[in-house]
Amino acid sequence: MATPKKMEKSYRMSSLSDCFGNLPNESVPINTDKLTRKVVCIEYPGIIKNVSRAMETLGGLEEINKRYVDSNQRLELRWRPADPYCKSSYGDSSNTNNLLFRFKRRKRKKLDGSYDYEHKVEILGIVKVTFRFQGMVDFQYLPMISHSTGENEAKTFSSIFDKLVVKSPEDVKDWLKVDVPLFLPPIIFSRMDTPMEYLYRSEMQHRSGFVNPQDQRPSHLIGTARQRRSRHTIFVNFEDKTIPSESMSGAEATLRAKVKNPNLEQKLRELFDQKPIWSRNGICGAIECRRDTLKYVLPLVAYYFITGPWRSLWVKFGYDPRKDPAAKKYQIVDFRVRQRGGNAGFDIKAKRSTFSYKLPTVITKQTGQVATINRSGLLPGKDQRETTTRTKEEAESTYKFRAHILPPFRQMFYQICDIVDDDVQSLLNQNNGQETVCDEKDGWCMKDMNDKCREIMYHKLNTYSPVGENTGKKVPKSKETCETDIHFPCQFGRQ
């Protein structure tokens, strides 16, 4: 695009009467020499009397430049830059097509005593980016304490900022020995940063028997006001004295109506007859059913352990593993693939993405979705042939541990009986016949059983590390790895 030439255009500036009073009914020339200049606009949420102090609250030109380069970063405004307890306000950038004008009016006195006005308009640049502070800025928690001299007199406040903040490194020792008032600012001021229209409505009418959770909660705690949905699941802690022998009353009539497969409950009972304690992933792999269907059938067959060595497992009604030493093989082991060293090459997905957590200084802009065509089913490619030949061991990797198959996720929960390793099983049987007390941490096993199992599993998994394949370097295999190939399991659902 060609550079615009220097020119002057005449516009009727009727809108300037608000700023400069009554303007003459004539055209005003506009200087467009700086029309190609680009500027950034910051709509400061306050009246600026000192420009340098206003720039200091924004972090200076260097900080503004960083936020301008990265459009996903929000511009932070600290009303008191030297106060670490100051709650910041954040401005969001938006693309604009505005013009920045400079208006001047000169007054000249004539010989007859009247005044003559000369108006000048100049364009300083085009505003392409504007930072707007649309959030509420009046949420502040000052480091002050109140003083009351009498009942009828007003309270006075004094600042304790000097007692809370160290001014110089030399004063640290003396500062640690001095008692200071308790000052705990709130972690969050409001759930919403921008004001919104609130639609008032009448109190919700509940059916008979409704119990408000707020009535059973201490006054200083904030929680949901909705009553917890009943899944007819019986939860048991390790400290509970008794265990349930049957499902809740009314659970069978309610849950069986939601199950479309009548044979699923019978298959589930047969599984618990074979093994009294199961994980949800183990059940899905054994009878090949969907996870959302099990939530209606499992409460009819088993109860759920919340704490202890059998936490997050389903136990058959009437069976108490705390009284049976043989139940130690069903205990849970929390195994996590370590991130340091050569394990960075493990092709294992995390259960939860770190992108779900958003900082207040970052804004997530929505992007349009790009349509893609899945051509895996059009031609019998290599991926499809590998899927059809997937082994049973790979399908069981969601709940069974085998050293030559990588876990689907970096954190897995295995039952000891599902860890296919001779060293772990021999470690389990070391205290056979010597079980006296069932501990909440180690259960019926020997002390620090989980830590020892994790070390063995990590060592075995590290032996079959696929780092050489990912980095292009050839890793020599040991005698154990020469006989067995490394398989990469498919990504199943969440653990």
Mean pLDDT, residues 386-398: 67
Q: Are 342 and 269 in contact (CB under 8 A)?
A: no
Q: Are both 113 and 150 inside the same structural domain?
A: no
**pLDDT at residue 6 is higher than 90:** no
Running DSSP on this structure, what letter comes out for residue 156?
A: E
Does residue 398 lie in a domain region?
no
Last residue of a domain, one of 293, 323, 353: 323
Query: Are 88 and 169 in the same domain?
Result: no
- Distance (Å, whole) CA 129 – CA 30: 23
Mean pLDDT for the stretch of residues 373-390: 50
Instruction: Tell me the C-alpha distance between 447 and 441, whole Å.
Output: 9
CA distances from 123 to 25, 35, 248, 333 (A): 21, 6, 77, 70
Residue holding tokens 């969440």?
494
Contact indicator for 296, 259 with CB cutoff of 8 Å: yes
Confidence of residue 418 (pLDDT cuts 50, 70, 90): very high
pLDDT band of residue 314 (cuts 50, 70, 90) is very high
- Does a structural domain hold residue 160? yes
Nearest alpha-carbon partner for 42 in 63, 26, 23: 63
SS (H, E, C) 59-124: CHHHHHHHHHHCCCECEEECCCCCCCCCCCEEEEEEEEEEEEEEEEEEEEECCCCCEEEEEEEEEE
Q: Tens digits of per-residue pLDDT, 319-331?
A: 999 999 999 999 9
For residue 164, the 8-state DSSP code is H
| SS3 label, residue 4 | coil
Contact 147, 51 (CB under 8 A): no
User: Is the same domain home to 108 and 170?
Assistant: no
Residue 273 confidence (pLDDT): 93
Neighbours of 322 (CB within 10 A): 19
pLDDT score recorded for residue 24:
55
Helices and strands counted in the chain (H then E): 15, 14
Residue 97 and residue 150 share a domain = no
* Percent of the chain surpassing pLDDT 90: 27
Domain final residue pick, 290, 323, 356? 323
Query: How much is the average pLDDT of 398-409?
Result: 87
- Quick check: helix, strand or coil at residue 175? helix
Domain that holds residue 165: 144-176
167 and 242 assigned to the same domain: no
Q: Sorting pLDDT into bands at 50, 70 and 90, what band is 372? A: low
For the chain, the domain total comes to 3
What pLDDT is attached to residue 147?
80
Q: Are residues 242 and 298 in the same domain?
A: yes
Give the model's pLDDT for residue 64.
92
CA dist 13 and 21 (Å) reads 12
128 and 159 housed in the same domain? no
Q: Which of the two residues, 409 and 131, has the higher pLDDT score?
A: 131
CATH code: domain of residue 282 = 1.10.10.10
> Does residue 479 lie in a domain region?
no
Tokens of 399: 């709940």
Query: Which residues sit opposite 8 in a β-bridge?
Result: 31
pLDDT for the residue numbered 342:
46
**Nearest of 14, 9, 13, 7 to residue 33 by alpha carbon:** 7
Among 317, 277, 302, 326, residue whose Cα is nearest residue 438: 326
Confidence of residue 492 (pLDDT cuts 50, 70, 90): very low
**Mean pLDDT (whole number) for 189-204:** 74
Q: Does residue 189 lie in a domain region?
A: no
Rounded mean pLDDT, 271-300: 88
Average pLDDT over residues 216-236: 75
Return the bridge partners of 29, or none: 10
Report yes or no: 339 and 459 within 8 Å, Cβ to Cβ. Answer: no
User: According to the per-residue pLDDT averaged within each range, which of 177-181, 242-246, 362-366, 394-398 is highest?
Assistant: 242-246
Last residue of a domain, one of 278, 301, 323: 323
Amino acid at 435: E
Residue 56 lies in a domain: yes
Closest by CA position to 231, among listed 146, 309, 306, 300? 300
Q: Are 50 and 124 in a shared domain? A: yes
283 in Cβ contact with 289 (< 8 Å):
yes
Query: pLDDT averaged over the chain?
Result: 77
Instruction: Determine the average pLDDT of the residues in 112-126.
Output: 87
287 and 246, same domain (yes or no): yes
* pLDDT value of position 324: 92
Q: Is the model more confident about 47 or about 32?
A: 47
Kindly state whether residue 376 falls inside one of the protein's structural domains: no
pLDDT in tens, 442-488: 999 999 899 999 999 988 888 765 543 433 333 334 333 333 333 33
Q: Are residues 171 and 101 in the same domain?
A: no
pLDDT for position 356: 53
pLDDT > 70 fraction of the chain, expressed in percent and rounded: 75
Q: Please say if the pLDDT value at position 19 is more than 70.
A: no
The answer to whether residue 458 sits within a structural domain is no
Q: Is residue 491 included in any domain, yes or no?
A: no
- Residue 272 has a pLDDT of 94
